[in-house]
Amino acid sequence: MVIKNAFYAQSGGVTAVINASAAGVLETARMHADKIGKVYAGRNGIIGALTEDLIDTSAESADAIRALRHTPSGAFGSCRYKLKSLEDNKREYERLIEVFKAHDIGYFFYNGGGDSADTCLKVSQLSDTLGYPLQAIHVPKTVDNDLPVTDCCPGFGSVAKYIAVSTLEASFDVASMSKTSTKVFVLEVMGRHAGWIAAAGGLASSEDRPIPIVILFPEITFDKQKFLAKVDQYVKEHGYCSVVVSEGVKDADGKFLADQGLRDAFGHAQLGGVAPVVANIIKDGLGLKYHWAVADYLQRAARHIASKTDVEQAYAMGKAAVEYAIAGHNSVMPTIERTSNTPYAWKTGMAKLADVANVEKMMPADFISADGFGITSKCREYLSPLIEGEDYPPYKNGLPDYVRLKNVAVSKKLRDFNI
Amino acid sequence: MVIKNAFYAQSGGVTAVINASAAGVLETARMHADKIGKVYAGRNGIIGALTEDLIDTSAESADAIRALRHTPSGAFGSCRYKLKSLEDNKREYERLIEVFKAHDIGYFFYNGGGDSADTCLKVSQLSDTLGYPLQAIHVPKTVDNDLPVTDCCPGFGSVAKYIAVSTLEASFDVASMSKTSTKVFVLEVMGRHAGWIAAAGGLASSEDRPIPIVILFPEITFDKQKFLAKVDQYVKEHGYCSVVVSEGVKDADGKFLADQGLRDAFGHAQLGGVAPVVANIIKDGLGLKYHWAVADYLQRAARHIASKTDVEQAYAMGKAAVEYAIAGHNSVMPTIERTSNTPYAWKTGMAKLADVANVEKMMPADFISADGFGITSKCREYLSPLIEGEDYPPYKNGLPDYVRLKNVAVSKKLRDFNI
């Protein structure tokens, strides 16, 4: 078999475990030196391919690659850059082929979410459309958990665990303070379109340790009176209440709740989050003392409390991508197939990229409770295994010993290219 | 020796390790059954004593008490309630004595920060002023790290670790995104008067893994132009930058930066945090894309990533408090005495409450770098040992197995008391 080099890139918002997928790709490729030569990583995603800014991963030690498994963020840099269609942008596709040819690249591994799957699909068609032999495999990654076919998406389980743990801990805190001080705690979480992450906050409450939690899903139109009534009821019953609000919650006019047209004292528009908006609604409507937090990047970067299930799945997706490539596949994505709930079991499957690209998986309606403020037992059954297990990074001087790679550049062979 | 019962209460803002101090008090008291009878906990702090709302901790199993060591928040409820002076409020002190007498309480353990130390001091004087024999010992606790005499305060080390870990993780994240997207990440942390917690963000950067971090201390007046120049410089040098901002940062007029007089579209005043204010300053001044987070309760409740040093010290303070009481002391507080930096070593000391109450320990000026945006090596030397070590809680179903006590009420013997 002819030995070809491979290209690997990270795309879109990074996660606590996207580097675990990178470790899966790189370690598996190294085990198949008879088929895959060097793995070149794109510096800052697909931009690295377009600008011939390639990183020679063979310069990294086995220890460094292994350490990627416990290092959050994108070790090679990521980007937000979506290729247009071949018709609209032939220049970029031709450039990709030029770079791939110059560096003898026959495998294309793209690690990202929905938009990236679309890019990967387009690249996978290059062998047909532009006559360049290339196998393109998508490695799934997104905290939004919105890729179709796969049971879940690497990156989501760790965010879900972070949000569930944080909601549990903050709820214990506000419960302690509620007699004379704070009665409501509001936590803003990611998820502009789907409420998967917000739903994870519901896991903090369980039968043997019930916690009053109100979840505000982007799928449910915000109803101020109903919301205030629910908070009021919980505070009367329990003395306190936690609110987990998705950044994507909208009001009846379809406007983001976060977008309140805030102005500072000089009349300048100010951008705020949705958490302070919800907190102010509680203050005005119920006169209760509150605290609020916005998790933002902390939630998706929190490798220190990553889900072991998630880490293992992220690694497995990277490994399977290489194995699928070696087996001759093109235009596919490894998937996670749930085979059992109790005990939880899963295996690696395969999806055609054509079935993945541009399809968004929303939360099933029966995952949200009838009143719109909680999760159903069906949702709990789905989510619980995904946060199962801890996979602690090693520590040095009190901090996680995350690796920073050398990221040695491959010598350029081509003229510059402007993107 | 006569056996007397003890009273224990938690006061002020709770922490990740105040229950570890409770475990230290309760386990040590149980080992001295010849001197201490039952330990009654105040439900919601001193309010529990005033209203005779006592919890019989003898109803809790040894396992439950042991689990307090790994459970954040205040297991018996806390309160924000400061006793006035004896002259201004004799009624409350007389009520305390009435309750202590009715329940044969001879020991008073009060677990809190500066305000609580003052309350404890006043209670410790009851034996003299009102002729009731009582030994009052203060158990130090505050994330603000502002108690005098003691080298550090239980609760602070774990917040410091959380902030250092979170800053590290989010910095890795923004570094990955900076090529095409977010270039500045802003994290708001606690600390209205002193910059101890903000300083901990600086630990994320080290010699072998430098990270561009701008710290905004409450001790340093905010200078917009100087701040923007620093962020601009870092972004030009590194491509990205993290900002750790204390909630207590003030402008040249002495006004909190968070207090921007925000109004919504209807002209209603809105309360925001300082993080979005700083983010907007960066957007307006430099045109850079940013993300911001507000850690709020998450930072002080994060028992899942508590500092082992902090947990051990919190427990030791509870244990020492009981031992000091048994040894006949009154009106004192156990302290942490640092005996060596490399390797870090500490022992338990003792402070007079009169030297602790109403004294606030600020950050030394030589802990802040000359430009006002970073920490010095002296600060690093002080902080580093405090975040050393991990002390993970046990997990169940993917979540920390935090204990919720039974909190059985002691039968009331007295008439009601209105506070």
Q: Which residues in chain B are contacts of A402 at CB distance < 8 A?
A: 168-169, 172, 209
Domain co-membership, A137 together with A178: no
Average pLDDT of the residues in B376-396: 98
Provide the shortest C-alpha distance from residue B75 to chain A (in Å): 7
| Cα gap B376→A55, rounded to integer Å | 35
Residue B296 DSSP label: T
A191 among annotated binding-site residues: yes
What's the N-to-C CA distance of chain B in angstroms?
A: 35
Residue A362 is assigned to a structural domain of this protein: no
Q: Is residue A381 part of a domain?
A: no
Cα dihedral B78/B79/B82/B86 (nearest 10) = -70
The answer on B309 and B297 residing in a single domain is no
Q: Which of B53, B56, B118, B144 is catalytic?
A: B144
- For chain B, give the percent of residues with pLDDT over 70: 97
Q: Which one-letter amino acid corresponds to residue A188? A: E
> Do the strands A344-352 and A332-341 form a parallel or antiparallel pair, or are they unpaired?
antiparallel
* pLDDT at residue number B206: 96
Strand partners, A307: A390
> Amino acid letter at B325?
A
Cα separations in angstroms, B34 against A363, B39, B146? 60, 13, 36
Q: Band the pLDDT of B261: cuts 50, 70, 90.
A: low
d(CA A417, CA B282): 31
Q: Burial of B242 by CB count in 10 Å (0-12 exposed, 13-18 middle, 19+ buried)?
A: buried
State whether A160 and A249 are in the same domain: yes
Is B377 a member of any domain?
no
Q: Which residues contact B111 (CB under 8 A, 6 or more apart)?
A: B8, B9, B10, B11, B18, B21, B22, B25, B138, B139, B141, B318
Report d(CA A152, CA A382) in Å as an integer.
9
End-to-end, the C-alpha distance of chain A in Å comes to 35
Q: Is residue B219 part of a domain?
A: yes
Same domain? For B249 and B134 the reply is no
B296 and B339 both lie in a single domain: no
pLDDT in tens, B276-307: 999 999 999 999 999 999 999 999 999 999 99
Residue of B360 and A156 predicted with greater confidence: A156
B144 is catalytic: yes
The overall longest dimension of chain A from CA atoms, in Å, is 73
Identify the CATH number of the domain in which residue B325 sits.
3.40.50.450
DSSP label at B348? Answer: E
Put simply, the answer to whether B384 touches A402 (Cβ < 8 Å) is: no
- Using DSSP, state whether B233 is helix, strand or coil: helix
ipTM above 0.85, yes or no: yes
Q: How many residues does chain A have?
A: 419
List the single residue in B161, B271, B305 with the smallest CB-CB distance to A280. Answer: B271
B408 occurs within a structural domain: no
- Average pLDDT of B231-236? 98
Distance CA A101, CA A324 (A): 22
Q: Which of A285-294, B126-135, B315-324 has the lowest mean pLDDT?
A: B126-135
Instruction: Pick the more confident residue, B267 or A163.
Output: A163
Residues of A in contact with B256 (CB under 8 A): none
Q: How far apart are CA A131 and CA A138, in angstroms?
A: 20
Q: For residue B264, what pLDDT band results from cuts at 50, 70 and 90? A: low
Mean pLDDT of B77-105: 93
- Residue B83 CA to residue B108 CA, distance in Å, equals 15
Pairwise CA distance, residues A113 & B128, whole Å: 70
- Rounded mean pLDDT, A285-301: 97
Give tens-digit pLDDT for B49-90: 999 999 999 999 999 999 999 999 999 999 998 888 888 889
Look at residue A272 and tell me if it is in a domain.
yes
Number of domains making up chain B: 2
Residue B267 has pLDDT above 70, yes or no: no
pLDDT digits (tens, 9 = 90+) for A35-88: 999 999 999 999 999 999 999 999 999 999 999 999 999 999 999 988 888 888
Spacing of C-alpha A39 from chain mean position: 24
The whole-number pLDDT of residue A269 equals 61
pLDDT (tens digit per residue) in A295-323: 999 999 999 999 999 999 999 999 999 99
* N residues, chain B: 419
**pLDDT above 90 as % of chain B:** 90
Contact flag A170-B275 (C-beta cutoff 8 Å): no
Computed over every residue of chain B, the mean pLDDT equals 95
Are B288 and B197 within one domain?
yes
CA-closest candidate to residue B160, choices B114, B214, B209, B199: B199
- Summarize the confidence of residues A355-374 as an average pLDDT: 95
Quote the domain boundaries for residue B29. Answer: 4-141+303-357+390-400
CA distances from B215 to A400, B117, B231, B307 (A): 21, 30, 11, 22
- The predicted model gives A342-367 an average pLDDT of 95
Say yes or no: B8 and B136 in one domain: yes
Cα–Cα distance, B161 to A250 (Å, whole number):
36
Mean pLDDT of chain A: 95
Give a yes or no: residue B292 inside a domain.
Answer: yes
Q: B254 and B192 in one domain?
A: yes
Judge whether A297 is closer than 8 Å to chain B, CB to CB.
Answer: yes
B 378-397 residues with CB < 8 A to A: 384, 387-390, 392, 395, 397
Residues A184 and A297 in one domain: yes
- The answer to which of B156-165, B271-280, B330-339 has the lowest mean pLDDT is B271-280
Asked whether residue A172 falls in the same domain as residue A293, the answer is: yes
Nearest-by-CA chain A residue for B393: A390
Element (H, E) at A39: strand A36-42
Phi, psi at residue A136, to the nearest 5°? -110, 125
* Residue of higher predicted confidence among B128 and A65: A65
pLDDT of residue B318: 98
Q: For the domain that residue A252 is a member of, what is the CATH number?
A: 3.40.50.460
* DSSP line for A292-339: EEE-THHHHH-GGG-BHHHHHHHHHHHHHHHHHHHTT--SEEEEEEEE
Residue A375 lies in a domain: no
Beta bridge partners of B248: none
3-state helix, strand, coil in chain A (%, to 5): 40, 20, 40
Please list every residue in chain A whose beta carbon sits closer than 8 Å to the beta carbon of residue B304: 165, 169, 305
Same domain, B172 and B40: no
Which pLDDT value is given to residue B84? Answer: 86
| Predicted pLDDT at B263 | 63
Residues A297 and A314 in one domain: no
A338 annotated as a binding-site residue: no
CB nearest B166 (choices: A164, A173, A298): A298
Higher pLDDT, residue A85 or B106 = B106
Q: Are B104 and B38 in contact (CB under 8 A)?
A: no
Residues from chain B that touch A169, judged by Cβ atoms under 8 A, are 16, 72-73, 297-298, 301-304, 400, 402
